[in-house]
Structure 1
Amino acid sequence: MSGIDECLREAMTLPGARGAALVEWISGLSLGRVGETPGGDPEAAAAEAAELARMAVEHGVFEPAETLDGPSGPGAQDTGKGLPVEDVILVTRTGYHLLRYVEAPFDGGVFLHLWLDRDQANLALAMRHVRDLAERLVLV
């Protein structure tokens, strides 16, 4: 189990990590950040990333597909809880932006935003590491 600062510092140990932030996706407020900020303005970056995170969660096109017999796909289960989206990955010419939704003990939700240099990062490794960080993160 780790706190916000420890989680963000650990995220920055990934190859190619340029910056990391924990953002409340309803308000767009940053709960913590470390490293560089895309665009140079931390408040604007948090608000804009939160807009993308909200859009992914709120639009029905990203809901799990279901059939009359229940959820589709091998081994699919509909637990009725949690968000329909786990990660959002945005690929730019020079970087990757990985947004990982995190369970929060309060209304609203948070996500971990990791900004990676595209030439130095390993996206698959970053996804696995961020998933692990999100599972260990303790929000009080």
Structure 2
Amino acid sequence: MPGIDECLLEAMTLPGARGAAVVEWISGLALGTIGDSPNGSHETTAAETAELARMAAEQTAFAAPVADGGPGDAAKAVPVEDVVITTPTAYHLMRFVETAFDNGVFIHLWLGRDEGNLALARIRLRDLADRLALI
């Protein structure tokens, strides 16, 4: 299982990767960063993306209800998996990491739109998030 640094190094191997971070979305603290930052400051970017991730994660409108198959087939909410923001020149992907102790961490990947492959990036970030070891 890769740690934060290994996870970020692997994320930067994606085509078009410009920068990446592992962010704690409650405080907005960057736990690790690599590459460039869209606004020149990894700390500012972490705080701004954390605000967006927190909004998405805490809103019931974005949680898809699914039948749980139990008695009465009651619906339960499925949490947000990732957030995708597109601009004319870039993609921003925020993939939530499930942990045993807290689900308040996500991976932010900044991709150049001309070189980046959004579908591939989503698949690879899902794999990275599933394997990330937070100690």
What TM-score does the superposition give when structure 1 sets the normalisation length? Answer: 0.87
Structure 2 counterpart of 1:40? 40
- After the TM superposition, list the runs of 4 or more consecutive aligned residues in structure 1 that deviate by more than 2 angstroms: 65-71, 104-108
How far apart, CA to CA, are the structure 1 residues paired with 2:66 and 2:130? 27
* Aligned mate of 1:114, from 106, 109, 112: 109
Structure 1 counterpart of 2:80? 85
After superposition, where does 1:89-100 map in structure 2 within 5 Å? 89-100=84-95
Gap regions ≥5 residues in structure 2: none
Structure 1 counterpart of 2:74? 70
AA partner of residue 59 (structure 1): Q
C-alpha RMSD of matched pairs (Å)? 1.8
AA partner of residue 30 (structure 1): A
AA partner of residue 134 (structure 1): A
How far apart, CA to CA, are the structure 2 residues paired with 1:63 and 1:50? 18
Contact 2:28 2:50 in 1 (8 A): yes
Shift of 1:38: 1.1
In structure 2, the residue corresponding to 1:128 is in which secondary structure? helix
Contact 2:20 2:109 in 1 (8 A): yes
In structure 2, the residue corresponding to 1:65 is in which secondary structure? strand
AA partner of residue 109 (structure 2): L
Contact 1:26 1:108 in 2 (8 A): no
How far apart, CA to CA, are the structure 1 residues paired with 2:55 and 2:106? 13
AA partner of residue 50 (structure 1): A
Shift of 1:106: 3.3
Gap regions ≥5 residues in structure 1: 72-77
AA partner of residue 65 (structure 1): P
What TM-score does the superposition give when structure 2 sets the normalisation length? Answer: 0.90
Aligned residues: 131
Larger strand percent: 2
Structure 2 counterpart of 1:75? none
Structure 2 counterpart of 1:101? 96
CA-to-partner distance for each residue in 1:93-118, whole Å, 9 max, x for gaps? 10000000002343451000000000
